[in-house]
Structure 1
Amino acid sequence: MSQNLETLSQALLEAATRAGADAADAIAVQGTSLSIDVREGQLEQAERSEGMDLGLRVFVGQRQANVSVSDSRPETMATMAERAVAMAREAPEDNYIGLAAPDQLATDWDIAAFELADPSAEPDPATLQADALAAETAAQAVNGVSQVQSATAGYSHTGVHIAASNGFSGGYERTSRATYCTAIAGTGDSMERDYDGDGRVFQSDLRAPADIGKSAGDRAVERLNARQPTTGSYPVLFDERISSSLIGHLLAAVNGSSVARGSSWLREKLGEQVLPAALSLVENPHRPRVSASRPFDGEGLATQKRNIVENGVLTGWTLDLVNARKLGMTSTANASRGVSSPPSPSTWNVSMTQGEKSREDLLRDMGTGLLVTSLIGSTINPNTGDYSRGAAGFWVENGELTYAVNECTIAGNLNDMLTGLIPANDARAHLSRVVPSLLVEGMTLAGN
């Protein structure tokens, strides 16, 4: 697969040169995916897709254009390049665009060390169906579960190759194997729904389907007889399942694209405290068997470990080449590239410092408040950090879970919320965002 993609990406560059481009980069992506859904013990849906997509970005002076196609015939690539060059000639000039300098490029990497692709054979549909059925059966066996909304098992294999006229050429393959289950408990207006799932690079690392199904059923039953909490100001504990969303808001605010536009609530916070002094946020794109790992970014720069936040202090932005130039900085090798658009900044694997206490310890210490296990909708002001989201979970009284909660809203300001975080020690190490349960000591709850 990889050699074919390399040949195609080089052919795109040659077509761009013949069409009159001053410079160009190309990406070739080839993938296979298989998904099996079951319902009530029977196969409900089976989907398989195979395809190839090609993307080409051309430069004519300080003008650029991007085109994509799913046809790899030489005549199609030639037409694609000609249209891209014609589009670029009509585009506005941009002094910040351009490929990386040759001395910025990644030149040596050990792709095997990243373990991005499981070498074992693609699972057959019967194997995936058996996994989905096992998850569904386990969920149905939970007392109180009225039905299983969905049980799915899937697999994907993707190859990527990027090449550019500055001399860069590199590619890799990825695999993904996943099982998910959603269960419903109760009947009529009192029905509640919850889910569980697991996705891994290697099949051998995947949790047992029966474990996933039982967990989904247990979670759905626990949410029965939910009610609204009393409106007021309370501590809120974000469960590990959804706590990474809080850090996701921070990562969005340090994205160089937002900062360059002046639309980030952290735009004036570089070098200042944004998390408690004991906490750091570390990006490591070289972790093996993790979905967001990669040896180079979408512009051919070598990825590297970096501290986004160190001991509570924001150390830098997440940058690709264009936004680094706009801000007078250096790219952090965080360019993400698809076939249909130019590169843009994105974050790879991120890990947050864990605390010394368990989630149960934090529940005990918080006294009275809300454990949030599900978030609904989002109203986040990117300029001010004002935060408001629908939430569901469990009411905590005297440090113990007392009843399920739904139909409430939690609100605050991200700057205040993040600087006062208290982390637990329950983060799952295999995720691309390793974030434990997080306690925010004061938020506004709107209930009844």
Structure 2
Amino acid sequence: MRLGGRLAAAIEVLEDIRARHRPAADALRDWGLSHRFAGAGDRAAIGNIVYDALRRKRSAGYLFGSDEPRAAAFGALFLEWGETPETVKAALTGDRFAPPLLSDDEIGALGANRLEEAPEAVRADVPDWCAPFLEARFGAGWVAEGMALSARPPLDLRVNTLKADRDKVLRELSGMNAEPTAMSPHGIRIPPIKGSGRHPNVQAEPAFRKGWLEVQDEGSQIAAALAGAESGLQVLDYCAGAGGKTLALSAAMENRGQVFAHDSEKQRLSPIFDRLRRADVRNVQVVPRPEELAPLEKRMDLVLVDAPCTGSGTWRRRPDAKWRLTDRQLEVRMAEQEKILAEASRFVRPGGRLAYVTCSIFPQENVERIDAFLAANPGFNPVDHAQLFESRFEGKSGSARIDPAKGISLTPAYSGTDGFYVAVLSRAA
């Protein structure tokens, strides 16, 4: 397929997403199933246009003065692919599968609408109702954070130190532009793709199949490290999901001690069993039923709560979620977080720690939830987060926003990671 056919397909997928309010991944999968003639390169390029259009939806809409999928798709080419009206016209001319060429009105709008003059929420590419939350959290830098959350993400990997080291995996991945991550000592980063390119399928690599690595954002790796799992401890991963942080905890513990992996929705745990086997993890017990946790009450050295949240810190990877999110969904998540913190805290032994993590940038899901929990649970106190970060990532405190009493925040613009929040609380002995 030429650019014209790919662009037309992207517009079709974007129209499907808007009409049916469905995730982009589902719409792209269904398009691929009904257009089996499209090769892997075509599907990758179409996906890039779709995701770029969703990341830069408001910017593209402003440039064209339209919120139609066509404007978003063309805007993606101009904002992210380095195309111009002239290069796009040349590429589309004579392509019978291409959408109609830009009209004089559309070209006129592009010339008249300057993005640097757009409202701040437009330049940040965030919904208007979310803008005050970012401003409250990041102050004068909130637009830059929104823009970073609208950029293409890298592909981050975590080396499984139970089976390999970073140098060994880097040699295995030579030719992929892989490099060590800036903060995580076990992380590897493959830079963001450009244009119609695609990241390598690392899950097809022998290194992945041998359990040497996992796909995990550097921010998630840092959050797991800050939780403080060490060899010999008794640890409860209370919202384990598919097990990404469970695996990181086990590796940090060198397969010694015990990790109990639990999730209130049992189906989320289904991938964890294959992942544990592949990673050669031997100190994890999967505990799917809440009643099975009763013997662990007040016995855990560490309880990790990777809380369900809006996922606003992952918008560059899941930009469609940004536009589906509602204030009501935020309220539901906040209530869930409050309930989960109260439940999980029961398992922390006297003198033990409770680590609270979200992949959200909203203060309502982060410091406000911790403040509410501390007010209701005077037996818990925050650790010194500045000291904690320095102990784990010596000399790198400038890469995170750290409030010693309130927690640690990681963001794309400031840290080069997805958006994460970490607070660690100690229970009185």
Give me the TM-score of the superposition, normalised by structure 1: 0.25
The structure that is strand-richer by fraction is 1
> Larger C-alpha radius of gyration, 1 or 2?
1
Give me the TM-score of the superposition, normalised by structure 2: 0.25
The structure that is helix-richer by fraction is 2
Flag the structure with more relative contact order, 1 or 2, with Cα contacts below 8 A and sequence separation at least 6: 1
